[in-house]
């Protein structure tokens, strides 16, 4: 593979992975890797084989595919490029980048709950963070292939550190772990106790960084955000359809019969997960602030859609109410006219009788 020359300006949070074709993405991965780590300590051909094999081992599912992996790797590349040079060490940065690239390897388009509830073989092997453990093991398997070990020029100690870092980073993409990490890191920041010198503190910020990268589609420009959400929910609905076919009830977010709730789901997702994640990140890595700003703009757009849905529903209900009112008024008028008609008819009968009596009387008198 030939690296593009000149190297394009990739360190932008608004960059769209959908602007590249499938053959170009591996080249751009090499570009990013070269910019971050140089190639003096790495074999170029090993790196090319590794990247191409990683791409090959992403399945053709709607969202958790090679494009998503590229996007997540690009986001961490941008964070590292925009952050203080002392934030992450060389080995930490290396592990974060490779972890992002490999974090969803062999994803089947189904979440951990589906794996566990359906007693899949993977769930039997990994009872917690099922898919994340599998993604890490897939990464190690690729590294062990002949001509794929991009870390072979590291020392044994460095190799051990990098693998541990990759494992920690990939497992951190399990959203079930995010809330605990968020709470602990938020407490450290609020109490002004966070220290880059404390390894446990560094682990928290690296975990938050992985979550931020994994969810970076929520910070992209609105057109990209809409496109991404569509394919995300395509994958969700496919899982929901399978759960229905098995007699299970999918969660509302994965039920295509509740697709109208998508904007409200996005509002909850950005407010409850994305913004808290990005806020913690930019407080420690200020160069990542555009992620927070982008998600905030998308929140406004989703909120506007929710408000429009509410207005449209209210207008629809008002129209129904007006139709019902008109129908009720029409019915009341008709009933009133019918009663009046009956009343009028009732009055005419005695008049006729009276008239007959009078005629009869006059006849007698005559």
Ranges of residues in the chain whose predicted pLDDT is under 50: 349, 351-366
Q: Are residues 179 and 187 in contact, defined by beta-carbon separation less than 8 angstroms?
A: no
- Residues near 292 by beta carbon (within 8 Å), at least 6 away in sequence: 219, 275, 278, 279, 281, 282
Of how many residues is the chain composed?
366
Dmax of the chain from CA atoms? 142
Q: What gap in Å lies between CA 277 and CA 310, rounded to an integer?
A: 29
Residue 76: CB atoms within 10 Å: 27
* pLDDT for 352: 46
Residue 348: CB atoms within 10 Å: 10
Does residue 68 carry a catalytic annotation?
A: no
Q: Are residues 267 and 306 in contact, defined by beta-carbon separation less than 8 angstroms?
A: yes
Q: Are residues 109 and 64 in contact, defined by beta-carbon separation less than 8 angstroms?
A: yes
Look up the pTM and report it.
0.86
Task: Outline where the chain has alpha helix (H).
Answer: 24-37, 44-56, 66-82, 90-102, 112-117, 121-125, 130-144, 156-171, 175-190, 199-214, 222-245, 262-269, 275-284, 289-365
Catalytic residue among 64, 68, 135, 148: 64
Torsion of CA 193, 194, 198, 201, to 10 degrees: 120
- Residues near 11 by beta carbon (within 8 Å), at least 6 away in sequence: 77, 78, 81, 82
- Residues near 346 by beta carbon (within 8 Å), at least 6 away in sequence: none
* pLDDT for 344: 66
* Residue in the block written with tokens 């809330």: 179
* pLDDT for 22: 85
Sign of CA dihedral 12, 13, 18, 23: positive
């Amino acid at each position: 593979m030939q690296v593009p020359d000149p190297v394009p300006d990739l360190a932008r949070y608004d960059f769209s992975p959908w602007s590249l074709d499938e053959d170009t993405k591996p080249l751009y991965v090499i570009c990013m890797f070269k910019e971050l780590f140089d190639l003096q300590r790495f074999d170029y051909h090993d790196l090319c084989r590794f990247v191409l094999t990683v791409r090959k081992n992403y399945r053709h599912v709607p969202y958790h595919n090679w494009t998503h992996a590229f996007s997540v790797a690009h986001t961490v590349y941008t964070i590292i490029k925009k952050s203080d040079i002392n934030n992450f060490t060389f080995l930490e940065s290396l592990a974060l980048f490779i972890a992002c690239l490999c974090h969803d390897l062999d994803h089947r388009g189904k979440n951990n709950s589906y794996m566990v509830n359906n007693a899949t073989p993977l769930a039997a092997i990994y009872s917690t963070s099922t898919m994340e453990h599998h993604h890490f093991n897939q990464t190690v398997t690729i590294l062990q292939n002949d001509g794929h070990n991009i870390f072979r020029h590291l020392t044994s100690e460095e190799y051990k550190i990098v693998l541990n870092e990759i494992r920690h980073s990939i497992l951190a993409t399990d959203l079930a772990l995010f809330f605990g990490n968020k709470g602990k890191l938020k407490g450290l920041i609020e109490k002004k106790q966070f220290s880059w010198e404390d390894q446990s503190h560094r682990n928290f910020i690296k975990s938050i960084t992985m979550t931020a990268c994994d969810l970076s589609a929520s910070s992209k420009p609105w057109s990209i955000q809409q496109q991404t959400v569509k394919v995300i929910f395509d994958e969700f609905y496919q899982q929901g359809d399978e759960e229905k076919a098995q007699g299970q009830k999918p969660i509302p977010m994965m039920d295509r019969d509740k697709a109208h709730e998508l904007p409200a789901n996005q509002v909850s997702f950005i407010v409850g997960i994305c913004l808290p994640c990005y806020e913690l990140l930019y407080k420690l890595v200020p160069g990542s602030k555009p992620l927070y700003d982008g998600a905030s703009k998308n929140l406004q757009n989703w909120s506007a859609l929710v408000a429009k849905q509410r207005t449209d529903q209210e207008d629809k209900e008002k129209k129904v109410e007006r139709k019902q009112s008109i129908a009720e008024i029409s019915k009341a008028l008709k009933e009133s006219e019918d009663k009046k008609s009956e009343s009028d008819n009732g009055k005419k009968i005695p008049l006729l009788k009276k008239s007959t009596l009078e005629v009869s009387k006059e006849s007698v008198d005559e």
